[in-house]
Structure 1
Amino acid sequence: MAIAPLPLLLLLLVGGSSGEEAEVVCAGAACYTLHRAQLGWNDAQKRCHDNGGKLAPAHSPAEARRLQELLVGADWTGPAWIGLWLPRGHCVQPQEPLRGFSWVAGEEGGNYSAWLSEPAVTCLSTRCVSLKLAGPAGSPGWTAHHCRTPLPAFFCKFIFQGMCGPLPLAGPGRVTYNTPFGVRSPQLAAAPFGTLADVHCEAGGDPPRGNPPFAVCKKLEQGDGFAWHPPGPLCPAACAHRNGGCQHRCLEAPGEPPRCACHPGYTLAPDMASCLPEDACHPNPCQDICQTRPGGFECSCKDGYYLATDGRHCLDVDECLAKPCQHECHNTDGSFVCLCQPGYQPTGPGGHHCRDEDECAQPGVCPQLCINIPGSFHCACQPGYQRQPGSDACVDVDECLRDPCPGTCQNLPGDFKCLCSHGFLPEEDGHGCRAAPTAREEPSVGPDSTPQTTGTTGTMGALQTKGILRTTGAPSTMGIPQTLGAPIGATPPAPTAVGSAPGPEHSADGPRLLLYYILGSLVAILLLLAFSLALLACRKRAAKQEKRPAKSAADNYCWVPEQPESRGAGSERR
């Protein structure tokens, strides 16, 4: 005959050692208490710490259900402090499940959260969290407050190495359990390690001298279990009274106290009263984790799952409901995965946040210029280039099509250059031409390069030219310059060397060089003309001398008529 397992958790309203009312529930290796006292968060934390515990966390759905059982058992609908807070100097993180808060009990943050209202975003003040039911039969939810705000209740959590089952009694009596965290209870389904059980037997069942028996929950010397010492059952009596305190069978022998035994397939538990299946977890009756307990077994689930109402199966927790990801959340069995939008990469703890990916940091993304934008990038071209339609390639812009130069335009890769004609100089950027300075603006030149004429009777007249003529290659004149007032006998000026190569300053100044060539040519023409006139004059003089008849020596004298001597004498006398 199958025997139903004893309940593993028993919710009781007990009076604390100080007279305060506290709701208690113990399971596994922890006990949770609900205390009613008007305290701020720090004072509540100190009360829990003085008894060896901390403000209770609710970092998983299973733990939140234990706190919910305390509230429902106490019929309490008000808020109660839990061990979740935001220290001063830390900022609220709206994208995280815990919003930047942390558990004081040292548990990891996890992905479970149950905010009834979003906490105000702040970095300057300490914030603390309370838990309350969202309605008479609702699930527990969280609310953030100022930590100094007094609330009427708070939760504590106490962790132990293990638990003992109820202390068995063979005869009529009552047990009072004194827990290590200062709570006294007349009955517990699971007593934590170190609990002292006071026993008061009825009908003279106490030991001699009137000292009531007691037992302590201790760790077994062999194995990992815990049991009462002495193991009991206490208050000896016949098996006829409550089956001697045994779960299955009570055996009596003459001269011996009653002892408990179990049905086939079961074994006596360390408390010497309860019976356990020889292997309650084989085969595993649970979908996930099975733990043997006094009178049966207990099922539990891994992180990311919660226990179904049948107590055996596990259901997946949809962590995406708490919106733990910055962009997209994909729920998986027992966990979740955060996904980022195109152009972003995961970052931060667990990859819950996303940062922009700098595509321009990769070589060869764009032919010339790359501009990074949130979630993408944009290719651009350098000045003087334009994008080719339908691709990111950059092609040269022919600026000469816009006719930007006054003369000839030369297109270059990404630029252009103006070629200036004679009489003009290029601009510094090469994108235009300006007129060259005139001859009047040039400094005076020395006698070696500027023609000058000096004569015995006067200076040569100013040379008059009708214009500066363009030349191609070697300079040539289009007409003969006119000169005025140049005497034939004047000394011609020294000719300028026409065939010499121009200096650097001439090659850089086209108009000046042209002027020098014209003046040199003019001087050469004047010299040739003067030489020709002189030669012609000499020839004419020589021809006249040849035609003149020969003369005697007397031709050089003049004859006068004779006069009388007397006249001549009188003349002499006069």
Structure 2
Amino acid sequence: MAIVPPPALLLLLSPALFWGAPGCAAERAEVLCAGAACYTLHRDQLAWSSAQKRCQNNGGNLATIRSLEEAQHIQELLGRSQAGAGWQGNVWIGLSLEKGKCVQSHDPLRGFTWAGGGKKTNYSAWLAEPHTTCLSHRCASLQPAAPSSPAGWADGPCRAPLPGYVCKFSFQGMCGPLALAGPGTVTYTTPFGVESERLAAAPFGTLAQVTCGAGGGAQQFALCKEQQPAGGFAWNHRGPLCALGCAHRNGGCEQECVEAERGAPPRCACHPGYVLAPDLVSCAPADGCDPNPCEGPCHRRPAGGFECGCAAGYTLAPDGRRCLDVDECLGQPCHQECHNAPGSFACTCRPGYEPEAPGSPRCRDIDECAAGAAACPQLCLNVPGSYLCACRPGYQRDARQEACVDVDECLRDPCPGTCLNVPGSFRCTCPPGFVPAADGGTCHPDPTHTEGPAGASQPTRLLAATLPERPPGSSAQPTATSTTTATTSTTASTTASAGLGAAHDAEHTTDGPKLLLYYILGSLVAILLLMAFALALLAYRRRKAKEEKQQAKSAADDYCWMPEQAESRAAGSEFR
């Protein structure tokens, strides 16, 4: 097999190598590749912005930690450093709060954002609440795990330098490590300019330099660039590498080794029922789904090979084998609140609401008044998500007793006569000899009233409290003129009747014409007095009607409502 020199290989096959720094020497740093990302640890005393710029120059960003799995990868990376003793001190990660934005206590990230953007997740690992501010640029660092303290995040000034930082580089796929059939070493140079001799996975564009022999013999080169149908990538120059012949370690082959002619390295083959894997060294069953190489279900292809699938609520990872949880809440399937769970999600309702049906994503208001959850002393009014308490007409709220107390309507002097307060209402009475008028605001003589023995009057009638309030400035009793006129007319009528009766007793047998004349004169006097009383009463009622029209009482005075503000479900049963 011909060996292609590294410069030609770089020019022809690797235009993406050493992003941002073509021609620069590779950096020696701790690197860990897993899933679809690589993480690198750098030992440089830098501020947060300088560290972020270094990561960006190589095609990445300061590390984002969006899940517990990512946090474990970075902890493993920190544990490799300093000869296996573990990293000491905090390192910068890609979490920051811009100047002018405030810390938000309800947000898992507390208002901070990840460098490079991307979707938000609920994962957080704050060791303590960040410093509350809106006026300064704050950045987060990662504190490694120690025997006396857990790993977690801490915030601080972005300009203060730290002794290290972690970068993250994302890829669409990876190659597996190169297998050597004989003695030799492999040095991997990644596209982000880091050189390492140990990689469990190599990202697309990684150059592998293979040195065969213990003393540094022939060299071979391979590039991770060939995309596989089932996902991921493969090396363009596959095994067996550094093979000495089939007699040494079976030529590096898993099953069968076939010697080549003219000094060429041997090649590998497989037993019946097996096929050669993409690395050209190992063998896989002809039925790719037995054993199942997938995290989820495996589907055989008619033309050979297999394809991995995932259960509902999961999606296939970029490597084509693993399954990743789908965040269904991003599609807003719930009416109010959505909580994502592995492979599923759950809908919940805000306080004061309940699901329309068991398992329904929609919510409906709870009628606390009908359910008996409200503790109102008199009236309960249901509102969306809560309820309000109110008092019946004739009552008002007592803040000290947290109850509804009776309103003394008589303090407003609503009656033309005497006012009697009763629970929730009041009653008006008129003077003796008078009854309430049809308008409810005045009194007029009772035509059925008669004087009893020794001037005693009949019992006074009571009026239920439906009378409107008397306009301010008007008299509560009938005017002096109307009262005097009524009294005079009544007295005169009584006197005239009494006089005529006496004359009739004395003279009805001797002077008939004179008695008739007395009767006629007495009737005329009574008619005139009644007409005068009627005119005075008409004038009084007109004046009262005019005053009442100018100052009409509002019907809303009979009601006393509590403040119209929604109470929370927890405090809905108390007066505040």
- Residue 60 (structure 1) aligns with: 67
Residues 1:189 and 2:200 aligned together? yes
Return closer, same or farther for 1:177/1:313 CA change in 2, 3 Å cut-off.
closer
- Residue 130 (structure 2) aligns with: 119
1:90 is displaced (CA, Å) by: 3.2
- Residue 430 (structure 1) aligns with: 470
1:371 is displaced (CA, Å) by: 6.7
Residues 1:147 and 2:155 aligned together? no
Secondary structure at the counterpart of residue 29 of structure 2: strand
Give me the whole-angstrom Cα distance separating, in 1, the residues matched to 2:310 and 2:128: 30
- Residue 281 (structure 2) aligns with: 273
Secondary structure at the counterpart of residue 251 of structure 2: helix
- Residue 12 (structure 2) aligns with: none
Residues 1:381 and 2:391 aligned together? yes
1:179 is displaced (CA, Å) by: 0.8
Secondary structure at the counterpart of residue 64 of structure 1: helix
1:313 is displaced (CA, Å) by: 13
Secondary structure at the counterpart of residue 470 of structure 1: helix
1:154 is displaced (CA, Å) by: 1.4
Give me the whole-angstrom Cα distance separating, in 1, the residues matched to 2:420 and 2:271: 110
Q: Give the counterpart letter for 1:275 in structure 2.
A: C
- Residue 226 (structure 1) aligns with: 233
Secondary structure at the counterpart of residue 39 of structure 1: coil
- Residue 487 (structure 2) aligns with: 470
Return closer, same or farther for 1:422/1:90 CA change in 2, 3 Å cut-off.
farther
Return closer, same or farther for 1:381/1:52 CA change in 2, 3 Å cut-off.
same
1:138 is displaced (CA, Å) by: 6.5
After superposition, the C-alpha distances for 1:57-84 in whole angstroms (9 at most, x for unaligned) are: 2111111110110111111132112222
Q: 2:538 aligns with which of 507, 531, 539?
A: 507
- Higher Cα Rg: structure 1 or 2? 1
Give me the whole-angstrom Cα distance separating, in 1, the residues matched to 2:48 and 2:298: 37
Contact 2:485/2:533 (8 A) holds in 1: no
Secondary structure at the counterpart of residue 99 of structure 2: coil
Superposition CA RMSD, Å:
5.6
1:333 is displaced (CA, Å) by: 6.4
Secondary structure at the counterpart of residue 38 of structure 1: coil
After superposition, the C-alpha distances for 1:524-549 in whole angstroms (9 at most, x for unaligned) are: xxxxxxxxxxxxxxxxxxxxxxxxxx
Give me the whole-angstrom Cα distance separating, in 2, the residues matched to 1:104 and 1:215: 33
1:41 is displaced (CA, Å) by: 1.9
Q: Percent identity?
A: 55
Q: Give the counterpart letter for 2:44 in structure 1.
A: A
1:215 is displaced (CA, Å) by: 2.0
Contact 2:416/2:476 (8 A) holds in 1: no
Q: Give the counterpart letter for 1:381 in structure 2.
A: C
After superposition, the C-alpha distances for 1:278-335 in whole angstroms (9 at most, x for unaligned) are: 556545478758999xxxxx9999999xxxxxxx9999xxxxxxxxxxxx99997667
Return closer, same or farther for 1:478/1:136 CA change in 2, 3 Å cut-off.
same
1:168 is displaced (CA, Å) by: 4.2
Contact 1:249/1:261 (8 A) holds in 2: yes
Deviates more, 1:91-100 or 1:376-385: 376-385
Give me the whole-angstrom Cα distance separating, in 1, the residues matched to 2:470 and 2:134: 60
Contact 1:31/1:159 (8 A) holds in 2: yes
- Residue 238 (structure 1) aligns with: 245
Secondary structure at the counterpart of residue 169 of structure 2: strand
Secondary structure at the counterpart of residue 66 of structure 1: helix
Secondary structure at the counterpart of residue 57 of structure 1: coil
- Residue 260 (structure 1) aligns with: 268
Residues 1:164 and 2:178 aligned together? no
Residues 1:132 and 2:143 aligned together? yes
After superposition, the C-alpha distances for 1:8-28 in whole angstroms (9 at most, x for unaligned) are: xxxxxxxx9667552111122
- Residue 565 (structure 2) aligns with: none
- Residue 492 (structure 1) aligns with: none
Q: Give the counterpart letter for 2:139 in structure 1.
A: C
Contact 1:77/1:136 (8 A) holds in 2: no
- Residue 557 (structure 2) aligns with: none
Residues 1:43 and 2:50 aligned together? yes
Secondary structure at the counterpart of residue 37 of structure 1: coil
- Residue 334 (structure 2) aligns with: none
Q: Normalising by structure 2, what TM-score?
A: 0.55
Return closer, same or farther for 1:224/1:408 CA change in 2, 3 Å cut-off.
closer
Q: 1:343 aligns with which of 352, 358, 361?
A: 352
Count of matched residue pairs: 411
Residues 1:217 and 2:224 aligned together? yes
Give me the whole-angstrom Cα distance separating, in 2, the residues matched to 1:343 and 1:30: 45
Contact 1:81/1:129 (8 A) holds in 2: yes
Contact 1:201/1:235 (8 A) holds in 2: yes
Contact 1:178/1:185 (8 A) holds in 2: yes
Relative contact order, CA 8 A, sep 6+: which one is greater? 2
Give me the whole-angstrom Cα distance separating, in 2, the residues matched to 1:68 and 1:172: 32
Q: 2:34 aligns with which of 27, 31, 40?
A: 27
Secondary structure at the counterpart of residue 136 of structure 2: coil
Secondary structure at the counterpart of residue 259 of structure 2: strand
1:274 is displaced (CA, Å) by: 3.3
Q: Give the counterpart letter for 1:507 in structure 2.
A: L
Contact 1:180/1:195 (8 A) holds in 2: yes
1:151 is displaced (CA, Å) by: 1.6
Secondary structure at the counterpart of residue 233 of structure 1: coil
Residues 1:100 and 2:111 aligned together? yes
Q: Give the counterpart letter for 2:390 in structure 1.
A: A
Secondary structure at the counterpart of residue 211 of structure 2: strand
After superposition, the C-alpha distances for 1:376-411 in whole angstroms (9 at most, x for unaligned) are: 534322442589xxxxxx999897899986845599
Q: In the TM superposition, what are the counterparts of 1:380-399 in structure 2 within 5 Å?
A: 380-385=390-395
Give me the whole-angstrom Cα distance separating, in 2, the residues matched to 1:299 and 1:142: 36
Contact 1:469/1:477 (8 A) holds in 2: no
1:99 is displaced (CA, Å) by: 2.4
Q: 1:77 aligns with which of 88, 111, 133?
A: 88
Q: Normalising by structure 1, what TM-score?
A: 0.56
Give me the whole-angstrom Cα distance separating, in 2, the residues matched to 1:37 and 1:497: 121
Residues 1:178 and 2:209 aligned together? no
Give me the whole-angstrom Cα distance separating, in 1, the residues matched to 2:92 and 2:225: 32
Return closer, same or farther for 1:286/1:19 CA change in 2, 3 Å cut-off.
closer
1:181 is displaced (CA, Å) by: 0.4
Q: Give the counterpart letter for 1:193 in structure 2.
A: F
Give me the whole-angstrom Cα distance separating, in 2, the residues matched to 1:475 and 1:277: 133
1:116 is displaced (CA, Å) by: 1.2
Give me the whole-angstrom Cα distance separating, in 1, the residues matched to 2:487 and 2:175: 121
Q: In the TM superposition, what are the counterparts of 1:320-331 in structure 2 within 5 Å?
A: none
Secondary structure at the counterpart of residue 98 of structure 1: coil
Return closer, same or farther for 1:368/1:498 CA change in 2, 3 Å cut-off.
same
Deviates more, 1:263-272 or 1:179-188: 263-272
